[in-house]
């Protein structure tokens, strides 16, 4: 998942919309807006038939600006970033920090949309969206906005299993700032599908992900903790931090949250090493010095 990162290095769980879904939403909006514009133009042509040419030109320009520019701006402002096309495609316009847009954001997007979409038939908007990492057009860049997906397929909404009770709070002091979002995604995918994997393949995958996580955090895992339990414990700690950050009432609350999350250490039951019998055949690929205990 391509997470949205705020200025405070907070990773938001938002999925930027890509070109196909955005193009479909814009197409729906254009069909609606142009239909309204044609109806308004026909009505004004009948009502202003007695006016001179200059007055009719002024009325035509005013109707163009009000219907094709002003109406989309008003709709995005009042609906907080959800036009009819975006509503149908499950999209929404938000600020870079994930908050709802206001009039100034919609105004900049609408003004740039005249050049990007109406005057160039969407060519500039498509090129900008293709080269942008988060699929933003030029109007989004100038307005400081982003179009995100609101509807996530149910098949992807998998719940990460909780860690063992004796690991809760063990990683409160772990520095997770250097862990990339791509690694978090791999870990979550493994934890949600661990039961579907072969035991040997799942263990090797868990050890590889745990080694990468240890390399990013710079802190070795507690002794005797299996790799899958270590991954579940660290993911649970990250989710707890995100929840405290999201529901903190103020900046002081953010500063006090880590102190309130300190949990008394829990005594871990000792793990008795198992000595293999003489002549036992080693696993395929040879022994690995990962530092993680095999699952019981």
> What is the pLDDT, as a whole number, of residue 248?
64
- Residues 117, 177 share a domain: no
Statement to judge: residues 144 and 169 lie in one domain: no
N-to-C CA span, the chain: 32
Structural tokens at position 266: 């829990």
Q: Are 15 and 125 in a shared domain?
A: yes
pLDDT at residue 102 above 70?
A: yes
270 domain-assigned: no
Give pTM, 2 decimals. Answer: 0.51
8 A C-beta contact, residue 106 and residue 79:
no
Which of 47-56, 104-113, 190-199, 245-254 has the highest average model confidence (pLDDT)?
104-113
Across 241-250, average pLDDT: 73
Q: How confident is the model at residue 107 (pLDDT cuts 50, 70, 90)?
A: very high
Claim to verify: residue 138 and residue 50 sit in the same structural domain: yes
pLDDT, position 8: 42
Q: Examine the pLDDT at 135 and tell me if it is beyond 90.
A: no
DSSP E strands in the chain: the ranges are: 4-5, 11-12, 15-16, 91-95, 145-149
CA-closest candidate to residue 142, choices 106, 167, 117: 106
Positions of E strands within 117-272:
145-149
Q: Is 104 part of a structural domain of the chain?
A: yes
Residues 28 and 107 in one domain: yes
Q: What secondary structure, in 3-state letters, does 42-100 show?
A: HHHHHHCCCCCHHHHHHHHHHHHHHHHHHHHHHHHHHCCCCCHHHHHHCEEEEECCCCE
Domain region containing 195: 165-260
Secondary structure letter of residue 226 according to DSSP: B
Residues 35-88: pLDDT tens digits?
999 999 998 888 887 888 888 888 889 999 999 999 999 999 999 899 999 999
């Amino acid at each position: 998942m391509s997470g949205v990162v705020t200025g405070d290095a907070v990773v938001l769980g938002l999925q930027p919309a890509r070109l196909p879904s955005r193009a479909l939403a814009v197409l729906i909006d254009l069909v609606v807006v142009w239909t309204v514009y044609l109806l308004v133009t026909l009505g004004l042509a009948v009502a202003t038939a007695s006016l001179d040419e200059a007055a009719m030109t002024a009325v035509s320009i005013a109707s163009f600006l009000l219907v094709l520019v002003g109406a989309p701006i008003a709709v995005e402002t009042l609906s907080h970033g959800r036009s009819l096309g975006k509503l149908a495609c499950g999209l929404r316009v938000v600020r870079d920090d994930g908050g709802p847009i206001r009039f100034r954001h919609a105004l900049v997007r609408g003004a740039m949309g005249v050049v990007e979409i109406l005057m160039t038939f969407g060519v500039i908007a498509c090129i900008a969206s293709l080269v942008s990492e988060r699929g933003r057009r030029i109007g989004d860049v100038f307005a400081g906005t982003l179009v995100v997906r609101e509807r996530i397929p149910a098949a992807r909404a998998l719940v990460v299993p909780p860690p063992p009770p004796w690991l809760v709070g063990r990683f409160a002091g772990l520095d997770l700032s250097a862990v990339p979002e791509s690694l978090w995604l791999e870990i979550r995918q493994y934890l949600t599908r661990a039961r579907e994997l072969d035991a040997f393949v799942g263990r090797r995958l868990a050890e590889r992900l745990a080694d990468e996580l240890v390399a990013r955090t710079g802190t070795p895992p507690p002794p005797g903790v299996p790799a899958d339990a270590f991954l579940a414990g660290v993911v649970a700690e990250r989710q707890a931090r995100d929840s405290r950050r999201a529901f903190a009432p103020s900046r002081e609350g953010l500063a006090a949250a880590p102190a309130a999350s300190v949990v008394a250490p829990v005594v871990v039951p000792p793990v008795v090493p198992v000595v293999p019998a003489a002549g036992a055949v080693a696993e395929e690929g040879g022994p690995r010095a990962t530092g993680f205990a095999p699952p019981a």
